[in-house]
Structure 1
Amino acid sequence: MKKYFIIIPSLILCIIFASCRDDFAFSNSTGDLGFSQDTVFLDTVFTNIGSSTRTFKVYNNSSNDIVIPRVALAQGENSKYRLAVDGVPGRIFEDVELLAKDSLFVFVETTIDINDFSSGDEFLYTDTIEFDNGPNQQVVELVTLVQDAIFLFPERDAQGIEETLLLGTTDDGEEIRISGFFLDDTELTLTAAKPYVIYGYAGVPPNKTLMIEAGARLHFHNESGIIVANEGSLQVNGLPSTTDELENEVIFEGDRLEPVYADVAGQWGAIWLTDGSKDNIINNATIKNASVGIIMDNSNAASNGATLKINNTQIYNSSNSGLIGTTGHIEANNMVVNNSGQSSVVLRLGGDYTFNNCTIANYWNNSFRQDPTLFISNIIPNTDLTEDLVNAQFSNCIIYGDRDIEFILADDGVSQFNFSFDHSLLKFNDRFDDFVGFPNYDFSNTNLFNQNVLNVDPVFRDEDNNGLQIDNSSGANGIANPVTATSNDILGNSRSTAPDAGAYESIDLSAG
């Protein structure tokens, strides 16, 4: 009789009999865990708004497989923090296994109601994550600053339907609505006492004025903003500040306070000044991280409709555009716009515009940008709509960016198209002569282009991060018209007898 031998690979034998090694036996941890950080800061959060999730790693640096008898928040189930240990959610965990020379992830987040702890406007909330107990216990500290705020949001009716605002109707008569609400009379003056967190669009009621006082902070949730119509007005009354905290400016931004969100575009909607609004004024404000900073509408260029005066204001990090005027009536002085996913400033379907000592730039680096920094037209592209461009005057301005052609003049030849640039620094490097022969780009025509400087580096301090102060060597240095230049720059500094173009007077940037 023949004998046959079956040769079974040793790996399979190990699996079948579980006898190849005895080091699957876990020993208790001995207090020698390593941590990627010993304190986890969850940054500042508003009361009742969840934080971002923070992550750290726990390391077993030993050569033994271990079990951590207990991983728990010191405040247990009463803690305002929430954990996930290697993907398992909870606040208290027993017998957590960790292989030799391996690590595990711990995720931490929180939502806190400031009224549960303090009557103040902010406080520090802390807890610890305890690993093991007794003499082997190790801890990781958790720290969160919680800030109180005034919340403004749409109400819900008895059926749970959220309040909306009517924008108009479609050609078929269907209503167009957005999530929003009208501010009541007690909410029409916003102060610096506490920050405001706004959900949906806060509407200014008919014939009312929303007054925003110096130092106020407005934080908008996703797809939220301010809308002004029906003879309403927006008055932003910021004042010059003396510190980098911009203590007297009015700041419009998103509702995430963590540093990672500080410059993220598109976190909220827009400030929308519709055709029905009037006498809108924005002074000393910073508008950042919106989809569109400001949208300005009018029904036609000759109407006495909405107007906007904007002074000493910065608009940054707009996922679409910083300022859109549709047949708008806008007067801007010492305005700065930078870093927009499309054009920083769009003036379309005609209108009436005056810009003086403005810095309009675009160094967007979050995606490929096809649009110029400045787009001016008497049409809306891809439609049959056309309106007169009564005036688009740019005096003592900087219009610059990282593309060759940074302004486009789209004239349909049907409606009026009146524009001029004077004493300004312009970026228009027509390296392929694509615009030669077009009258609107005849830079020798002093009625259109008077005493401008082309394609000379403005030497910004840090254009990628919205630092648009200019150096003494800037191409904008000393080129403004002393007669028409603003008397002070955006920081309140007096302009020299040979003033600079743009919102800032130049400084020696090499001096720090």
Structure 2
Amino acid sequence: MKRYLYFIVTLGFLMLWSSCRKDFEFSPSKGGLQFSKDTVYLDTVFTNIGSSTYNLKVYNRSDDDISIPSIKLGLGETSNYRLNVDGIPGKVFENVEILAKDSLFIFVESTIDINNFPNPNGNYLYTDQIEFDSGSNQQKVELVTLVQDAVFIYPNRDNTTKVIETLTLNIDDQIIETELQGRELLPTELTFTNEKPYVIYGFATVPSGERLTIEAGARIHFHNDSGLIISNNASLNVNGAFSTDQELLENEVIFEGDRLESAFANVPGQWGTIWFLDGSNNNTINYATIKNATAGILCDGNPNGIRNKLTITNSQIYNSSAFGILGRNTSIVGRNVVINNAGQSSFAGTIGGRYNFTHSTITNYWRNSSRQLPAVFLNNFLLDEENNATLASLTQANFNNCIIYGNDNPEIGFDEIEDNAVSFNFKFTNCLIRFEDRNNTLTEAYYDLNDINHYEGNIYNEDPNFKDTELNKLMIGNESAAINKGNSTFATQVPIDILNVNRTTTPDLGAYQHITFPKEE
């Protein structure tokens, strides 16, 4: 009985409250809206590539519920902007209601074809307005987008079947049909200049017997799941040059994703890799920045050729979701190389090979997730799906006058299958290394730091005094333990540091001679 009485009382209260409630009455807006910004800048986008979504918040600060008679783009239905007002897409909206002391969100996107405008000269500033109401009550918010022209390289598509072209690759002299979308570069595409940026969809492949030359100052952008493949008997020559402006890097060749918005500036894994197939040869990279890839460089095969398969100098590789450089039974020479922030290893020399790095800074301060591998990792085998091992000799892995550091410990690691048929040779000489076996768990012979066959003249666990590891600024300061600790013999092999400073008199370790950091304000 009590429960029944309680139900009746509650129901009566709700009916009484409902009968007293007045319907919302919306009065027309009188132009007193406020906005989270007076101009929405949609950053820079490539022609015909959709922008990110940006938001604008509209406030009704008054005590009245209001209705905005119209919200529309100034160019109406012809505008290249798209709006979404409180979940409804369109370009023109009528009688948009906002409660007193409340707000609404407007989301803005754009896709713009630069070729629709006269004389764009490579860039075009596209503008429009969001107009609220009309006449004397009208208020406006400006929309601004810089549209950049580019050379687009993308796979062919059959307009009938909608099938996109996939690659056929020569790997280890075997012709393999892949599911990788992409195509071979045409003869007219084998020189990338700095006149316009390049945007690559899928994997662009350098054909067998050809060479891709990339000139100083070129900008190469990759769409998601895209990359560059240097095929059998082909080569890549990246001919960047020193830049006087270390922010603009005007003469460096830059490889990165195709999202130009600032929010994507340091996001790992936006594109695939630069992949040197087994039969490619005589590859050189000088003054390049490779960032935000899955693996900055993937280099396969040719460990014992007359020439090194890849020579990389004065170059930086950052923000790789897996590896900065992944070598697989190959040969790589690196001088003045800087690698940082990789989801696994910054440098991994796997399945043996031949590697020589001098005056390089190889660090890993990855913070996006936990990682299982150190900054530098070496092994001599590959396991198949049934755990059968393919062995190969680690002929050389020399690191001279380098800094090898990071936010894990230790930052060097090895994984060897011992077999008399293969060798496992490596040596760290005059390097600053983060290595501390606090729990005495690293009992393998190759972790014996007193073995001069593997370790000589090194410094362990002292502060390199980097400028800013999170922003990939690996210059060393006045308090660095690396100052004047370089072997002069190695310094004469790389007499100029990555910033064009002579190091032969008092060489520091790593890719940089030390500098004085400006005092923080």
Q: TM-score with structure 1 length normalisation? A: 0.95
Partner of 1:449: 455
Are 1:89 and 2:94 an aligned pair? Answer: no
Partner of 1:473: 479
Note if contact 2:308-2:333 (Cα within 8 Å) is conserved in structure 1. no
Change (3 A) 1:51 1:199: same
Aligned length: 503
The letter of the residue matching 1:426 is: I
Partner of 2:368: 366
Note if contact 1:298-1:305 (Cα within 8 Å) is conserved in structure 2. no
Q: Deviations over 1:422-472 (max 9, x none)?
A: 011011111111124x22112112221110101111110001110100012
Task: Describe how 1:352-431 pairs up with structure 2 within 5 A.
Answer: 352-380=354-382, 383-414=388-419, 415-431=422-438
Change (3 A) 1:261 1:464: same
CA distance in structure 1 between the partners assigned to 2:74 and 2:179 by the alignment: 48
Are 1:464 and 2:459 an aligned pair? Answer: no
Shift of 1:303: 5.2
Task: Describe how 1:139-288 pairs up with structure 2 within 5 A.
Answer: 139-157=140-158, 159-167=161-169, 175-243=177-245, 244-288=247-291
Shift of 1:495: 1.0
For residue 504 of structure 1, the aligned residue among 500, 512, 516 is 512
Are 1:488 and 2:492 an aligned pair? Answer: no
Note if contact 1:322-1:337 (Cα within 8 Å) is conserved in structure 2. yes
Gaps of 5+ in 2: none
Shift of 1:11: 3.5
Are 1:293 and 2:300 an aligned pair? Answer: no
CA distance in structure 2 between the partners assigned to 1:293 and 1:174 by the alignment: 23
The letter of the residue matching 1:271 is: I
Note if contact 1:112-1:146 (Cα within 8 Å) is conserved in structure 2. yes
Shift of 1:349: 0.5
Partner of 2:138: 137
Partner of 1:26: 26
CA distance in structure 2 between the partners assigned to 1:303 and 1:279 by the alignment: 10
CA distance in structure 2 between the partners assigned to 1:174 and 1:216 by the alignment: 31
Q: Deviations over 1:202-230 (max 9, x none)?
A: 00011000000000000000010100112
Partner of 2:42: 42
Shift of 1:38: 1.2
User: Which of 382-391 and 60-69 deviates more?
Assistant: 382-391
CA distance in structure 1 between the partners assigned to 2:430 and 2:176 by the alignment: 49
Shift of 1:309: 0.3
Are 1:104 and 2:109 an aligned pair? Answer: no
For residue 310 of structure 1, the aligned residue among 307, 312, 317 is 312
Q: Deviations over 1:360-386 (max 9, x none)?
A: 000011111221111001113555011
The letter of the residue matching 1:40 is: V
Q: Secondary structure at the match of 1:365?
A: coil
The letter of the residue matching 2:509 is: A
CA distance in structure 1 between the partners assigned to 2:354 and 2:232 by the alignment: 21
Q: Secondary structure at the match of 1:277?
A: coil
Note if contact 1:480-1:499 (Cα within 8 Å) is conserved in structure 2. yes
CA distance in structure 1 between the partners assigned to 2:438 and 2:333 by the alignment: 33
Note if contact 1:275-1:306 (Cα within 8 Å) is conserved in structure 2. no
Partner of 1:435: 442
The letter of the residue matching 1:55 is: N
Note if contact 2:477-2:515 (Cα within 8 Å) is conserved in structure 1. yes
Shift of 1:12: 3.0
CA distance in structure 2 between the partners assigned to 1:498 and 1:81 by the alignment: 57
CA distance in structure 2 between the partners assigned to 1:70 and 1:177 by the alignment: 49
Shift of 1:160: 2.9
Q: Secondary structure at the match of 1:263?
A: coil
Q: Secondary structure at the match of 2:470?
A: helix
CA distance in structure 2 between the partners assigned to 1:169 and 1:291 by the alignment: 21
The letter of the residue matching 2:240 is: G
CA distance in structure 2 between the partners assigned to 1:42 and 1:11 by the alignment: 49
Shift of 1:37: 1.1
CA distance in structure 2 between the partners assigned to 1:510 and 1:39 by the alignment: 34
Shift of 1:345: 0.6
Q: Secondary structure at the match of 2:272?
A: coil
Query: Identity over the aligned pairs, expressed in percent?
Result: 52
Note if contact 1:23-1:65 (Cα within 8 Å) is conserved in structure 2. no
CA distance in structure 1 between the partners assigned to 2:176 and 2:476 by the alignment: 51
Shift of 1:496: 4.8
Note if contact 2:365-2:469 (Cα within 8 Å) is conserved in structure 1. yes
The letter of the residue matching 1:444 is: N
Q: TM-score with structure 2 length normalisation? A: 0.93
Change (3 A) 1:178 1:332: same
Note if contact 1:275-1:305 (Cα within 8 Å) is conserved in structure 2. no
Shift of 1:404: 1.4
CA distance in structure 1 between the partners assigned to 2:13 and 2:85 by the alignment: 34
CA distance in structure 1 between the partners assigned to 2:176 and 2:339 by the alignment: 36
Change (3 A) 1:496 1:230: closer
CA distance in structure 2 between the partners assigned to 1:11 and 1:42 by the alignment: 49
Note if contact 2:171-2:279 (Cα within 8 Å) is conserved in structure 1. no
Note if contact 1:298-1:306 (Cα within 8 Å) is conserved in structure 2. no
CA distance in structure 2 between the partners assigned to 1:169 and 1:502 by the alignment: 35
User: Which of 401-410 and 84-93 deviates more?
Assistant: 401-410
Shift of 1:306: 6.9
The letter of the residue matching 1:380 is: L
The letter of the residue matching 1:272 is: W
Shift of 1:510: 4.6
Q: Which 4+ residue blocks in structure 1 deviate beyond 6 angstroms? A: none
Task: Describe how 1:332-351 pairs up with structure 2 within 5 A.
Answer: 332-351=334-353
Q: Secondary structure at the match of 2:381?
A: coil
Q: Secondary structure at the match of 2:496?
A: coil
CA distance in structure 2 between the partners assigned to 1:123 and 1:174 by the alignment: 43
Q: Deviations over 1:84-129 (max 9, x none)?
A: 0000000000000111111111000000000111322102111110
CA distance in structure 2 between the partners assigned to 1:263 and 1:174 by the alignment: 34
